[in-house]
Amino acid sequence: LLGARPLLASTVMGLPVRGGLRAEGGARGAALHSANRVPPARTTREWEEATWRRARRRVLALGGHQSECTTSAGPSEGGFERIEGVSRPAVALGKFNALHLGHRELICRASRMGQPCLLSFSGMSKILGRVSRPPLTATVDRDRVLRGWSDAMANGSQPKEVVIPFKDVRHLQPEDFVKVLVYEMGASGIVCGENYRFGYRAAGDASLLSELGAKHEIPVCVVDLVETPRGGGAPGAGGEEQGPRAISSSRISNLLAEGRMGAIAEMLGREYRLVVGCDDILRGARGGGGRSLSVPLESFRNLVPGPGTYPVSVVASGDERTTADCAGPGIAGTVRVGESDAILECSDDLDLEGEALLCMDFT
């Protein structure tokens, strides 16, 4: 129609988009058509991005009131920012609690599409009313693990972690979530596992993500679940069957409760590391000294194995922010985990002066 601008989307986040004009005739219509046509140098995706940004600004200007959006389009406070320090961020989606071999495969695939970024969400347990518990990989230990994965990346770079408050995305419909990734955060590619779900009330799955990626001209890679070759170690007390088993954080948590550290190491691709702050040790340690130390379980920064006695190698870090500088052979010892305490017995004296973190690698 003369004077009508192409309409890319009738709504964005439930808001009407002024993407078209009333048909006009004569010279006025021709002038409107000339002023409002899509410039040849601007792609459909660029128009879609501009339309999305205008709608988002309008929602934020309105204070993000639910009445101005779709039932799922709760905007973040102030909008989402582009991923800093990365030119072509390829986003791997997941919870990344354990940083296991399945997660590494996601990040490796992302590295083939751009600079790999792990995108996860904070505050999910509290909002969803779930029981909160310590992570499988301590926060201060994540940098060490990701550095160790750099050699496996296609571009040799260390993966970057990006964390978004869950409250900012929980109401987004699947397509709105993809638009945030593409148009606001600047993702150049998206990677997820075959069982990944996203969007309001987990309405989207990996298949839908692929469809939305094609619609918004961004590559999406869906990765098969990674399996252990031998089923995760020897059978447990329940006589579980041997054979390949999918790696997952929930499975690792179950194995940890059973004390099956060999099976966990197979799924992580490294020894399980337990971390405790030296200040916490000084405040909470009871008895012992020199080569022996008793630490309350609540002092540890990550999930503690089930009751039992385990061989460990003990190292310390002088940096309270990361364990990445822990190098060299550790002190051999054992840790006996009880109902409330973990008793560490070492083959040599422990000197924690000037140290910030104590790490126990389960050998």
pLDDT of residue 177: 96
pLDDT of residue 21: 35
* Residue whose C-alpha is closest to residue 75's, from 90, 58, 87: 58
* Rounded-to-integer distance, Cα 101 and Cα 266, Å: 9
- Mean pLDDT, consecutive 10-residue stretches, the chain (363 aa), reads 41 45 46 48 63 60 39 44 90 96 97 96 89 94 95 91 93 96 96 96 97 97 91 50 81 97 96 93 56 92 98 94 85 96 92 90 96
**285 beta partners:** none
Beta strands in 128-266 (DSSP E): 160-165, 189-193, 197-198, 204-205, 220-223, 227-228, 245-246
What b/e readout covers 285-311, taking b as 16+ CB neighbours within 10 angstroms? beeeeeeebbbbbebbbbbbbeeeebe
Q: What is the pTM of this model?
A: 0.77
pLDDT of residue 280: 80
Residue labelled with tokens 């252990």: 228
Cβ atoms within 10 Å, residue 345: 16
- Residue 6 phi, psi dihedral angles, 5° rounding: -55, 135
pLDDT of residue 75: 37
